[in-house]
């Protein structure tokens, strides 16, 4: 009887532990992520969350002698500054590298030496970004770095009331 009770208790504790582990970790701005259909976002990620207070756009082009033919770099950069909203992570700057069509869009990364979040987006999204920043309401940039290598990053607006 004692063995059955211990076995039952062990099974109940294991089931409770598994249910808690399967539940997704809740963080600020979860509403801006798509559903986690593959279950890749189960652990607590390192989160960078910045409320954007200013931005500047730089468009440029550089030719380097003896460079590798066909090498593609960014020709447009959007620099974002603001205040950190993620506890324990004081990063307050982001650099968005806008990559021309055909270029490789890399995952977001955190440049610890400059305390800057580096994002890579298709240059075709520049008009959408400028439209977003021209609208009222708060604007945010976030990135989440999960232990399994999954990286999520986005630029989004906060809730904006619609006039009727």
| Residue 111 forms part of a structural domain | yes
Mean pLDDT, to the nearest integer, of 119-146? 95
**More confident site: 131 or 8:** 131
Domain for residue 93, yes or no?
Answer: yes
pTM of full prediction above 0.75: yes
Residue 20 pLDDT level (bands cut at 50, 70, 90): very low
Count the domains in the chain. Answer: 1
Q: Residue 1 burial (CB < 10 Å; 0-12/13-18/19+)?
A: exposed
Q: How far is CA 127 from CA 88, 130, 155, in A?
A: 33, 5, 13
Asked if the structure places residue 49 within a domain, the reply is yes
Domain holding 87, by residue range, is: 29-34+43-61+73-157
81 domain-assigned: yes
């Amino acid at each position: 009887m004692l063995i059955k009770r211990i076995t039952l208790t062990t099974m109940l504790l294991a089931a409770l532990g598994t249910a808690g582990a399967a539940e997704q970790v809740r963080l600020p701005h979860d509403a801006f992520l798509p559903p986690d259909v593959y279950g890749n976002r189960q652990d607590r990620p390192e989160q960078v969350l910045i409320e954007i207070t200013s931005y500047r756009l730089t468009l440029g082009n550089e030719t380097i002698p003896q460079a590798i033919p066909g090498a593609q770099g960014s020709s447009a950069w959007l620099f974002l500054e603001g205040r950190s909203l993620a506890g324990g992570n004081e990063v307050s700057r982001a650099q968005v590298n806008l990559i021309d069509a055909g270029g490789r869009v890399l995952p977001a990364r955190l440049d610890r030496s400059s305390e800057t979040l580096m994002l890579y987006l298709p240059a075709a999204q520049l008009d959408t970004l400028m439209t977003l920043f021209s609208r009222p309401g708060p604007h945010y940039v976030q990135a989440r770095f999960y232990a399994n290598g999954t990286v999520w990053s986005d630029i989004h607006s906060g809730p904006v009331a619609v006039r009727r």
